[in-house]
Amino acid sequence: MIAIVSKVNEDRRNNSSAGLYVLARAQVILLITKVHYR
User: For residue range 1-38, what is the model confidence (pLDDT) as tens digits?
Assistant: 566 677 766 766 666 666 677 788 889 998 988 887 76
Beta strands in 1-38 (DSSP E): none
Q: What is the reported pLDDT for 19?
A: 65
Q: How many CB atoms lie within 10 A of CB 22?
A: 19
Nearest-angstrom CA–CA distance, 26 and 15: 17
CB 23 within 8 A of CB 8: yes
Is pTM beyond 0.75? Reply is: no
Q: What is the reported pLDDT for 20?
A: 75
Q: What is the reported pLDDT for 33?
A: 87
Q: What is the reported pLDDT for 8?
A: 65
State the alpha helices, DSSP H only, in the chain. Answer: 2-14, 16-36
